[in-house]
């Protein structure tokens, strides 16, 4: 980012400091990236100060901040999603589990940095998850839990922009959450992604728009919590059609990287139109028909304790072939690029198919010298199998 912009150390939790900075610098648009400040109402503070802001306020951000809130909204608006029960203590949780039976999904209600969900194949696993939540493993985020029907199918992500009344489809992507090849090992923030996700056909996208997104936006507006920003839907494509797994209130990582590589419209103009309530006046976003695919290079130990400080070289060679390397967790130490996070680089490439984008992305990965890093070697595998027919 420092190559393109001036970096400023601001605490996003200090709303007054953020507002003062924006007023002082006459900032024309704030885009709130992470979920914490959204759920914490930073967008409300900025809008109250007259600063145009992309992202939902505190009330609408409950879509991501409370899994129970979203399930209740789905129930009120008749949105397709798995059956569920909300519980606020261990005894009720265990009793509810007995009614569901395994497999079953147990979720901490609040923000848990991607670690609050257990997909339990057996009852003991599910019971253990309930006990952990109510023993305080997730703090306040685990004051409540949601027990959910297990949905079977392939997952895909879909994104839409809204200013609170106009809704425009953005793009689709497919993430790879597990740390290991073949979707094995523990969950991560995402080890790679590609866009578009062709498994989400135009017909399925239309169904998602009318049956899930439109009633969500309308219900929130009708209930006095208008949503502005991007809606990120986690979907399960079941035999009964697409079902909502969850909403996020932001562009996720690494889905964002692959969608941005395909976007041909002016992103700033789109986001500003959302903030400014005139999304309907713009032409819909245009995307390249190409596929973009990104491979995450992580530091050894991730998603546990990642090894910090590993040296990285070869980014220039990797990009010489047309790939783009996003820095996620890097720092400069005495002029040497080093790892400073769990997920360190997003090595991203385009192609006319997933197979081609995959080949190009891994050629770029192989040009990078990061001895204390690792990556999955199979990003995009579901679609590559389908392309090879
Ligand atoms: N009802 C469900 N049935 C099957 N799998 C689920 C269900 N809910 C969640 N999952 C799995 O768990 C993952 C994490 O759940 P999600 O609700 O997206 O929580 P978060 O992203 O906040 O950790 C999903 O990506 C999906 O793989
Ligand atoms: Mg999720």
Residue 8 belongs to some domain of the structure:
yes
Asked if 113 and 9 sit in the same domain, the reply is no
The closest-lying atom of ligand 1 relative to the alpha carbon of residue 67 is: 17
Residues 243 and 144 in one domain: no
On whether both 162 and 144 belong to a single domain, the answer is no
Ligand 1: distance of its center to the CA of 6 in Å? 37
**Residue whose CA is at the smallest distance from ligand 1 atom 20:** 114
- Which CATH number do you get for residue 381? 3.90.600.10
- For 60-95, b/e burial (b = at least 16 CB within 10 A) is bbbbbbbbbbbbebbeebebbbbebbbbeebebbbe
Q: Which ligand is nearest to the CA of 156?
A: 1
11-68 pLDDT per residue, tens: 999 999 999 999 999 999 999 999 999 999 999 999 999 999 999 999 999 999 999 9
Q: 174-189 pLDDT, tens per residue?
A: 999 999 999 999 889 9
266 and 173 within one domain: yes
What pLDDT shows up at residue 2? 83
Q: Candidates 141, 234, 252: which one to mutate for ligand 1, based on the most atoms within 8 Å of Cβ?
A: 234
CA dist 374 and 225 (Å) reads 43
Helix, strand, or coil (residue 12): coil
**Nearest CA to 173 among 187, 186, 188, 160?**
160
Residue 62 located in a structural domain: no
Domain boundary among 36, 55, 74: 55
Q: Which atom of ligand 1 is nearest to the CA of 115?
A: 23
Q: Compute the CA torsion angle 231, 356, 379, 309 (nearest 10 deg).
A: -100
C-alpha span between 215 and 144 (Å, rounded):
25
Which ranges of the chain have pLDDT less than 50?
none
Q: Does residue 369 form part of some domain?
A: yes
User: Strands (DSSP E) along the chain, which ranges?
Assistant: 30-31, 53-54, 84-87, 104-108, 117-120, 145-149, 154-162, 167-175, 178-180, 184-187, 192-195, 229-238, 241-248, 291-299, 324-327, 330-333, 336-339, 343-351, 373-374
Q: Is residue 325 part of a domain?
A: yes
Domain count, the chain: 4
Residue 224's domain is classified under what CATH number?
3.30.470.20
Instruction: Tell me: do 165 and 252 sit in the same domain.
Output: yes
What per-residue confidence (pLDDT) applies to 155?
Answer: 96
In a shared domain, residues 302 and 321: yes
> 4: domain CATH number?
3.40.50.20
Domain termination site, one of 98, 115, 149: 149
Residue 159 sits in the same domain as residue 235: yes
Please report the atom of ligand 1 found closest to the CA of residue 111: 22
In a domain, residue 76? The reply is no
Q: Do 262 and 167 share a structural domain? A: yes
Claim to verify: residue 134 and residue 40 sit in the same structural domain = no
Nearest-angstrom CA–CA distance, 323 and 345: 12
Q: What angle do CA 350, 189, 210 make, to 5 degrees?
A: 70
Q: Give the pLDDT of residue 114.
A: 86
What number does the ligand 1 atom closest to the CA of 175 have? 25
> Which ligand approaches the C-alpha of residue 141 most closely?
1
Average pLDDT, the chain: 97
In a domain, 67, yes or no: no
Range of the domain at 369: 291-387
Statement to judge: residues 142 and 220 lie in one domain: no
As a dihedral over the C-alpha atoms of residue 135, residue 137, residue 143, residue 145, rounded to 10 degrees, the angle is -90
**Ligand 1 first shell, C-beta below 6 A:** 82, 105, 107, 114, 116-117, 119, 148-151, 155, 177, 234, 245-246
């Amino acid at each position: 980012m420092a190559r393109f912009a001036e970096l400023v150390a601001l605490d996003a939790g200090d709303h007054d400091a953020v507002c003062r900075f924006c007023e002082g610098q006459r900032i024309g648009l704030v885009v709130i990236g992470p979920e914490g400040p959204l759920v914490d109402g930073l967008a409300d503070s900025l809008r109250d100060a007259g600063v145009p802001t992309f992202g939902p306020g505190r009330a609408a951000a409950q879509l991501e901040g409370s899994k129970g809130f979203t399930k209740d909204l789905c129930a009120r608006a008749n949105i397709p999603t798995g059956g569920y029960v909300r519980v606020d203590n261990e005894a009720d949780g265990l009793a509810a589990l007995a009614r569901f039976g395994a497999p079953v999904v147990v979720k901490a209600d609040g923000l848990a940095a991607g670690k609050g969900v257990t997909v339990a194949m057996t009852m003991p696993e599910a019971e253990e998850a309930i006990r952990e939540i109510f023993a305080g493993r997730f703090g306040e985020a685990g004051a409540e839990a949601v027990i959910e029907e297990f949905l079977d199918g392939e997952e895909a992500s879909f994104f839409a922009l809204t200013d609170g009344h106009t809704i425009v489809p953005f793009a689709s992507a497919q993430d790879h959450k597990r740390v290991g090849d073949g979707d094995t090992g523990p969950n991560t923030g995402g080890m790679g992604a590609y866009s578009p996700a062709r498994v989400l056909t135009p017909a399925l996208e239309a169904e998602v728009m009318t049956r899930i997104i439109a009633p969500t936006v309308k219900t929130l507006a009708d209930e006095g919590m208008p949503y502005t920003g991007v809606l990120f839907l986690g979907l399960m494509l079941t035999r009964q059609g697409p079902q909502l797994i969850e909403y996020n209130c932001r562009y996720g990582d690494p889905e964002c990287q692959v969608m941005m590589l395909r976007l041909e419209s002016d992103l700033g103009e789109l986001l500003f139109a959302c903030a400014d309530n005139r999304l309907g006046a713009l032409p819909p976003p245009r995307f390249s028909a190409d596929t973009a695919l990104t491979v995450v290079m992580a530091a050894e130990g991730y998603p546990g304790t990642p090894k910090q400080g590993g040296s990285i070289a070869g980014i220039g060679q990797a990009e010489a072939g047309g790939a783009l390397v996003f820095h996620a967790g890097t720092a400069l130490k005495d002029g040497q690029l080093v790892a400073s996070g769990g997920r360190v680089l997003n090595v991203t490439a385009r192609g006319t198919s997933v197979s081609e984008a995959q080949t190009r992305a891994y050629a770029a990965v192989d040009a990078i010298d990061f001895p204390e890093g690792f990556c999955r070697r199979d990003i995009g595998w579901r679609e590559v199998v389908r392309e090879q027919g």
